Amino acid sequence: MSGARVLVTGASSGIGRATAELFAGQGAQVAMVARRQSALADAARALPKDCAFTIAADVTREADAERCMREAVEKLGGLDVLVNAAGILKSGDITQTSLAMWDEMLNINLRAVFHLMQLAVPHLKASRGSVVNVSSVTGLRSFPGVLAYCVSKAGVDQLTRCSALELAPFGIRVNAVNPGVVVTSLHSSGGMGAEQYEAFLERSKGTHPLGRVGQPQEVAELIAFLASERAAWITGETVSIDGGRALTCAR
């Protein structure tokens, strides 16, 4: 990835941060995007000097999304890779999910992904670049109690496939990764308490056939592969990285 020009959303924590760190470590120039400037600054300090810069933006706001794309392209001198890693998860079944919660999750997890991809297309055409979207095992399989999240990630998967077909004539590849449970702040940010989260992680060891949960760096490695020339003949794929979770029945 040496010299690659990369924009990563959700770059202040979790999979987004691990991805930014990996790309920068491989010699890429990385625009790190997230809502909180302080968290972004902390993440950027862990990267090699002169490999990354931060853009504080709420990508659900159209003006912010347009600004972050404009600033990233100006500072990077173009764009080779877009990684959509920003996302939220909140619990609620069909009776508990308010319209406001539904809109919030669909806006962050799906609408913002679509908008940033749309904004990136002219720049990716010029570089024959690629997009990697961070989806979830819940995009491939149904899970109770997280209705809006499941729907949003299923939407990301279909967006990935449809846009891959439409952008292939321009040499732009579009893929997604579908992680199982990964140790990040996703659940705690969604309101899960510390004790509940520890119990959830412990239970997840039994629901993933390989017997453990994942780490952000493992997902980042797959993202980097899909974005690289090593994956030059791969597009429209939703690739599971979930310790076998998507293979199992409800449990």
Nearest to 180 by CA among 225, 228, 147, 141: 141
Nearest to 240 by CA among 206, 208, 205: 208
- Tell me, rounded to whole angstroms, the distance of Cα 106 from its chain centroid: 14
Is 149 known to be catalytic?
A: yes
Contact 34, 66 (CB under 8 A): no
Backbone angles phi, psi at 203, to 5 degrees: -65, -35
Contact 222, 122 (CB under 8 A): no
d(CA 224, CA 201): 26
**Catalytic, out of 87, 149, 214, 238:** 149
Nearest to 245 by CA among 215, 218, 209: 209
Catalytic residues: 149
